[in-house]
Structure 1
Amino acid sequence: MDETRLRRELRDAALAHRPDHSRMLARVERGMAAPAARPPGPATRWTGRRWAAAVAVVAAAAGVVGIGGLAATTLNDRPTAPASTLPAPGPSARATATIDPGGNRWWAQSDLGLTTDTTVSGLTVELRIVRTPGVVSTGHWRTRPAEDFAVTVTEEGRELVYRWTLKPGRTVPSGAHVFAGQYNHAEGVRDASADTYTVVLTGADGGRSTLRGAFGPTRPE
């Protein structure tokens, strides 16, 4: 069925003032299916423009005979996008990296001071000490109970890495805490400006926050 015939049938139906929804939709469906009965020939291409024209005619007729719900149903049947859920904010905390003044010309200690404002249910503290000449780990410590953390000291590329990970079921209360890595180095004043730290905190509600920073350059006393 071409557009002229479709428009004529819809217009006739509208003028008949018969607000029969089922009959109206049946007419449209029969009209759109009619090309299948034609003798073989070039197929009718329902391009975007033709389809838009047909929809416009149906909408115009709907305004007369009272089937305006047709367009609304089409819109309402569209799938609704799931509502996005924002992650919970992570615990509030602050960190300060310093070189302990108790070191000497052959040995140093890198201190990370961490202050948490709330109880933390997940915590990973990582110190990365660049392996300048002579750097070798001599130990580590923290102010929290040793049994609360799994600790590793590894060499990753050009860095000596100290990592403390809070064990499942343990917590860190609000307050000030210290994590320290100790190491020997070549004689003299070692430059710590390339040393870095990362702290990942997880709250009881699953919210996560991350702190990153660097140690300042070491200056002689």
Structure 2
Amino acid sequence: MDETRLRRELREAARAHRPDHARILARVERGMAAPAPAGRRTRSPRPSAGRRRVVVLAVTAAVAGVVGIGGLAVTTRDDRPAGPATTLPAPGPTARATGTVDPGSNRWWAQSDLAVTTGSPLAGLTVELRIARTPGVASTGHWRTRPAEDFTVTVTAEPRALVYRWTLKPGRPVPPGSHTFAGQYNHAEGVRDASADTYDIVLTGTDGGRTTLRGGFGPRGN
């Protein structure tokens, strides 16, 4: 049998071989522990035997490489470190909002009420009420049902809207329930169109989840 064919057949046998690692290890340990036979002479290998030994050693190394690679693949698959965890955002608080023009409004003055109902405690809350700049609109005040010291309040006259903004201060929780925020303003005499008035609310739960509510006040006006 020529050397090339011998290599091919040994390589195929190595691929198909499934070694018993426990038995191999036991045999190696027994061989290492056994004493060398006394009085045995060592003969120099013949050239042809040396060539065959090189072939066998090469194939043995190839087999060991296949076994080693296989073991490494298993170890890598079983012991590989976990990839970076994907953290999903927490669900936002359950809430709803309703914007209405207060029935106590009149032909020169109005109050826009924004009722915010929450189903769980809040750690953060920002309420923005935008009153469109119709003729004569000017702020006359504001209020809310939550304690005044819990919020930072600003009123800003922008080119297109009068903006009321309530921002909950850090460390001031809001309990579940219904909470009202109101903006008061004068306007030109007559029935004021409130269809362009809007609100924007951002609620943050105690677990960091956020909910955003947006809406308007409809066509009703005073």
Q: Give aligned pairs, total.
A: 182
Cα distance in 1, alignment partners of residues 101 and 139 from structure 2: 15
Q: Output the amino acid matched with 1:201.
A: L
Q: CA deviation at 1:80?
A: 4.6
Matching residue of 2:71:
69
Cα distance in 2, alignment partners of residues 127 and 12 from structure 1: 79
Unaligned runs of 5+ in 1: 1-6, 29-57
For residue 142 of structure 1, the aligned residue among 144, 147, 154 is 144
Cα distance in 2, alignment partners of residues 142 and 66 from structure 1: 73
| Percentage identity across paired residues of the two chains | 75
For residue 169 of structure 1, the aligned residue among 168, 171, 186 is 171
Matching residue of 2:91:
89
Unaligned runs of 5+ in 2: 1-6, 20-56
For residue 211 of structure 1, the aligned residue among 199, 210, 213 is 213
Matching residue of 2:105:
103
Q: Output the amino acid matched with 1:199.
A: I
Matching residue of 1:112:
114
Matching residue of 2:197:
195
Alignment of 1:9-158 (within 5 A): 11=11, 14=14, 62=66, 67-72=69-74, 80-158=82-160
List per-residue Cα deviations over 1:7-51 (Å, max 9, x = no partner): 97x949949x8x8xxx98xx89xxxxxxxxxxxxxxxxxxxxxxx
Cα distance in 2, alignment partners of residues 12 and 175 from structure 1: 76
For residue 160 of structure 1, the aligned residue among 129, 141, 162 is 162
Q: Output the amino acid matched with 1:136.
A: A
Give the direction of change, closer, same or farther, for the CA distance of 1:66–1:141 in structure 2 (3 Å limit).
closer
List per-residue Cα deviations over 1:158-182 (Å, max 9, x = no partner): 1111001111121222211110001
Cα distance in 1, alignment partners of residues 214 and 206 from structure 2: 21
Larger radius of gyration between Structure 1 and Structure 2: 2
Q: CA deviation at 1:128?
A: 0.8
Partner of 1:121, secondary structure, is strand
The alignment's TM-score, normalised by the length of structure 2, stands at 0.67
Q: CA deviation at 1:156?
A: 2.7
List per-residue Cα deviations over 1:51-109 (Å, max 9, x = no partner): xxxxxxx9xx83xx574234456767977531111122222111110001111111111
Cα distance in 2, alignment partners of residues 188 and 157 from structure 1: 22
Q: Output the amino acid matched with 1:86.
A: L
Cα distance in 2, alignment partners of residues 148 and 66 from structure 1: 67
Conserved 8 A contact 2:129-2:200 = yes
Cα distance in 1, alignment partners of residues 75 and 159 from structure 2: 62
The alignment's TM-score, normalised by the length of structure 1, stands at 0.67
Give the direction of change, closer, same or farther, for the CA distance of 1:156–1:66 in structure 2 (3 Å limit).
same
Give the direction of change, closer, same or farther, for the CA distance of 1:13–1:74 in structure 2 (3 Å limit).
farther
Cα distance in 2, alignment partners of residues 172 and 207 from structure 1: 15
Conserved 8 A contact 2:101-2:221 = no
